[in-house]
Amino acid sequence: MPMDFSRFTTISFDCYGTLIDWESGILSALRDVLGSHGQSQSLSDAAILELYGEFEAEAESGLYQSYREVLQSVVRSFADRLHFEASSAEIRSLHESVHAWPPFPDTVAALRELHKRYKLVVISNIDNDLFAETRKRLDVEFDGVITAEQARSYKPSINNFQMALRTLALSPDRLLHAAQSVYHDVVPARSLRISTVWVNRKSARPGIGAVRGSAALAAEKRADLVVPDLASLAAAVMTRAQD
């Protein structure tokens, strides 16, 4: 059955991987580090992203630390796994590159179109100041932003989504959440009965991207709608609105 978009007042988005082309940013920064230690040619893009997803999830799974610290931990983990010593500048390089990660080509236009009908919110595993730099690239006035720094936890914790619902004074049935990561977003949002859109963007790791694969049951991973990009979501919404 086609999704009934009329029941939603708000669409929330994961940011990095969904709105922002973080794979390009991650690969550029990490290939610079790996290349300086003779490691760049030995790993494919898919292998780098798989290791990134593993190391990031590990760093986010313990006591809360800033995303800046998470990304520094990721670089240290690459160095440990591949047996080289990263300099302090290399350890900082990944988080220092976040401000330059670009939006996908369809992001800004799609957000503008969706904002004509819905409130738009970001729920992101990020620090406040790092997102403030990214926000300048998105050129849209969001109606709410929930960061990991505010929640003191990282998705897939349901705490981040519960905080969004409280902050926005929304019931789950009025919120639609769109994201690239099944692991971080689709599974926990579904557990709270929030409708989900899986934005299955092209990736060096098709269907997964730069995140850990989800071990959830197939039914728990099944989004209500699957689209290849944000432009397709905006087109679906606007088409249904005109029916």
DSSP E strands in 59-143: the ranges are: 119-124
136 SS3 class:
helix
Q: Are 150 and 144 in contact (CB under 8 A)?
A: no
Peptide bond into 2 cis (omega under 30): no
Set 4, 14, 21, 129: catalytic member: 14
> Residue 149: what residue type?
E
Q: List, in order, residues 6 or more apart from 184 with CB less than 8 Å away.
A: 14, 125, 154, 155, 156, 211
22 SS3 class:
helix
> Residue 1: what residue type?
M
Cβ atoms within 10 A of the Cβ of 7, count?
Answer: 10
**Token representation of residue 106:** 């369809």
Number of helices (H) and strands (E) in the chain: give both, helices first: 10, 6
Q: How far is CA 66 from the centre of its chain?
A: 16
Q: How far apart are CA 149 and CA 126, in angstroms?
A: 7
Q: Are 118 and 95 in contact (CB under 8 A)?
A: no
Whether 14 is catalytic = yes
Q: Are 76 and 86 in contact (CB under 8 A)?
A: yes
| Active site residue ranges | 14
